[in-house]
């Protein structure tokens, strides 16, 4: 039997074929858009995988905690050493850039010599001469882990311990650590809490609190290595730096301060915006001692009243990212990556010579042995409480 389609049926079939063709084209378009999204995502910077930071160390569990604000700024922090692992901020084109130098897994932080990348430093940030100090008439002896001197808390310090972690919310992480009496040679059981907060103003706030049951000394800081052009982008010598300080601590050949001197007329004058590398090769004994910049700056205004003050401003010459540092501390240490030797594989690239800088807010190096410097003594009943803020913008 032969079937003949009526005009209505013919129109219906044609419509069905047209709809089918449209659906197929839509499917192809959707697939293409998905492929493009995948490609775009692949080209964007990413945080390390959380699973790569989950390990048992010294009987305690390590992990990776992510803070994120409404602007998609993100900070990844591990409780191993209280370290900032990644810090993603937008550049002048809105592209997320990882400005914190670090490793892609926790094992790389535990192996070899301590690089201090991103670490919380304690009990005492920076150096103590010959690893000795006298407190209330008693002399204490610390590890000499930096030539003849004590550096950043000793053989293990706070940078190689597992902190207890509590993520309060999407923007706040609390880390606590109890350092026992005579740990690393320091007197008193010190209970420390470090709180990281990421604000919607693109600020990473770090608050340090500590109490003790015996008189002790405390000088806590963070040792993030920064490259505002992004990890793996080359050296930082083109970064523009301004430090709110007209004085600094010159040092001896072992990098122990010898006093306080004006920066005017020296390569250490960053009172006006100046490229980090513009004078780093000058024939200057202080630069030779540090193999570049590795010196504490005496911030204008000191720490009277513990008010927040602008300490430094840095801008990446390629990214346009600016970092402003405000602090309650009296000093800030400039380190120009002088001993980075390319021996470590990072999240991106290697830690080549001067591919990062540090600006560590702090009390002065060797303060326990230099009475003219602000005191770092903490007594029972007192609370050590200080805050530093890193604010990011771009243009």
pLDDT at 260: 98
**Model confidence at 36, in pLDDT bands (50, 70, 90)?**
very low
Work out the average pLDDT over 1-15.
Answer: 39
pLDDT at 35 over 60: no
pLDDT above 70 covers a percentage of the chain that reads 87
Q: How confident is the model at residue 306 (pLDDT cuts 50, 70, 90)?
A: confident
**pLDDT band per the 50, 70, 90 thresholds, residue 111:** confident
Residues 226-254: what's their mean pLDDT? 98
Provide the residue count of the chain.
395
pLDDT on residue 44: 76
Residue 90 has pLDDT above 50, yes or no: yes
From CA 268, how far away is CA 282, in angstroms rounded?
11
Closest-CA residue to 67 (of 58, 76, 59): 76
Residue 6, number of CB atoms within 10 A of its CB: 8
The answer to whether the beta carbons of residues 340 and 355 sit under 8 Å apart is yes
Nearest-angstrom CA–CA distance, 291 and 117: 19
Which value, to the nearest 10 degrees, does the dihedral of the CA atoms of residues 192, 79, 106, 323 take? -90
Contact between 80 and 53 under an 8 Å Cβ cutoff? The reply is: yes
pLDDT band at 289 (very low <50, low <70, confident <90, very high): very high
Does the pTM exceed 0.95?
Answer: no
Model confidence pLDDT, tens digit, residues 353-373:
999 999 999 999 999 999 999
Whole-number pLDDT of residue 113: 59
Please confirm, yes or no, whether 239 is among the known catalytic residues.
no
> What does the pLDDT average to over 194-198?
98
The DSSP element (H or E) to which 286 belongs, if any, is: helix 285-290
Confidence of residue 100 (pLDDT cuts 50, 70, 90): very high
Cα(58)–Cα(43) distance, integer angstroms: 37
- Tell me how far apart the alpha carbons of residues 231 and 58 are, in angstroms, rounded to a whole number: 30
Q: In this predicted structure, what is the pLDDT of residue 304?
A: 56
156 has pLDDT over 80: yes
Cα separation, 104 vs 47, whole angstroms:
9
Residue range 79-83: mean pLDDT, rounded: 98
Quote the strand ranges of 234-345, DSSP E.
Answer: 240-243, 247-248, 261-262, 274-275, 294-298, 309-315, 321-327, 331-335
Annotated catalytic residue 360: yes
CA gap 45, 40 in Å, rounded:
10
List, in sequence order, every residue forming a beta bridge with 97; answer none if it has no partner.
89
pLDDT over 60 (residue 383): yes
- 392: tokens are 């990011």
Q: Is the pLDDT of residue 14 over 90?
A: no
Q: Which helix (H) or strand (E) holds 359?
A: strand 358-362
Q: How would residue 151 be classed by pLDDT, with cut points 50, 70 and 90?
A: very high
Question: For residue range 208-227, what is the model confidence (pLDDT) as tens digits?
Answer: 999 999 999 999 999 999 99
CB 334, CB 313: distance < 8 Å: no
CA 311 vs CA 144, 190, 203, 267, 390: distances in Å: 30, 28, 15, 18, 10
Residue bearing the bigger pLDDT, 40 or 199: 199
Q: In this predicted structure, what is the pLDDT of residue 105? A: 96
For tokens 């990062």, the residue is 356
Q: Which of 374, 209, 392 is nearest to 296 (CA)?
A: 374
**Which of 158, 156, 151 is closest to 118 using CA atoms?**
158
For 15, phi then psi, to 5°, come to: -65, -40
CA dihedral 145, 359, 205, 82 (to 10 degrees): -20
Q: Which of 150, 231, 360, 363 is catalytic?
A: 360
The pLDDT mean for the chain works out to 90
Q: How far is it, in rounded angstroms, from Cα 310 to Cα 297?
A: 13
Q: Tell me what the mean pLDDT of segment 253-266 comes to.
A: 98
pLDDT of residue 41: 38
What confidence score (pLDDT) does residue 34 get? 37
Which position among 150, 152, 223, 295 bears the catalytic label?
Answer: 223
């Amino acid at each position: 039997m032969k079937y003949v389609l009526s005009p209505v049926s013919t129109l219906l079939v044609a419509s069905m074929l047209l709809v089918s063709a449209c659906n197929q084209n839509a499917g192809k378009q959707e697939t293409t858009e998905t492929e493009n999204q995948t490609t775009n995502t692949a080209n964007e910077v990413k945080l390390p995988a959380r699973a790569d930071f989950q390990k048992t160390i010294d009987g305690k569990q390590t992990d990776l905690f992510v803070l994120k604000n409404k602007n998609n700024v993100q900070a990844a922090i591990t409780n191993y050493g209280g370290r900032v692992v990644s810090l993603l901020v937008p550049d002048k084109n809105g592209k997320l850039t990882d400005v914190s130098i670090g490793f892609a897994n926790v094992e790389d932080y535990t192996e070899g010599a301590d690089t201090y990348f991103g670490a919380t430093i304690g009990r005492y940030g920076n150096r103590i001469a010959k690893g000795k100090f006298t407190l209330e008439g008693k002399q204490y002896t610390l590890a000499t882990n930096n030539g003849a001197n004590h550096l950043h808390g000793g053989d293990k310090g706070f940078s190689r311990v597992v902190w207890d972690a509590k993520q309060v919310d999407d923007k706040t992480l609390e880390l606590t650590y109890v350092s026992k009496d005579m740990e690393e040679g320091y007197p008193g059981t010190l209970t420390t809490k470090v709180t990281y907060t990421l604000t919607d103003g693109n600020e990473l706030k770090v608050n340090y609190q500590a109490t003790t049951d015996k008189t002790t000394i405390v000088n806590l800081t963070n040792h993030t290595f920064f490259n505002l052009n992004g990890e793996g982008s080359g050296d930082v010598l083109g970064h523009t730096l301004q430090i709110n300080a007209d004085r600094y601590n010159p040092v001896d050949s072992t990098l122990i301060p010898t006093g306080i001197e004006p920066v005017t007329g020296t390569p250490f004058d960053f009172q006006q915006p100046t490229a980090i590398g513009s004078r780093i090769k000058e024939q200057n004994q202080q630069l030779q001692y540090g193999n570049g910049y590795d010196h504490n700056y005496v911030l204008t205004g000191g720490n009277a009243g513990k008010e927040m003050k602008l300490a430094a401003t840095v801008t990446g010459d390629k990214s346009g990212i600016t970092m402003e540092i405000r602090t309650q501390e009296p000093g800030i240490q400039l380190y120009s990556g002088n001993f980075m030797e390319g021996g470590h594989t990072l999240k991106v690239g290697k830690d080549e010579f001067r591919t990062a800088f540090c600006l560590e807010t702090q009390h002065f190096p060797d303060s326990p042995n230099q009475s003219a410097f602000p005191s770092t003594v903490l007594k029972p009943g007192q609370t050590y409480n200080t805050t530093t803020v890193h604010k990011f913008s771009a243009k």
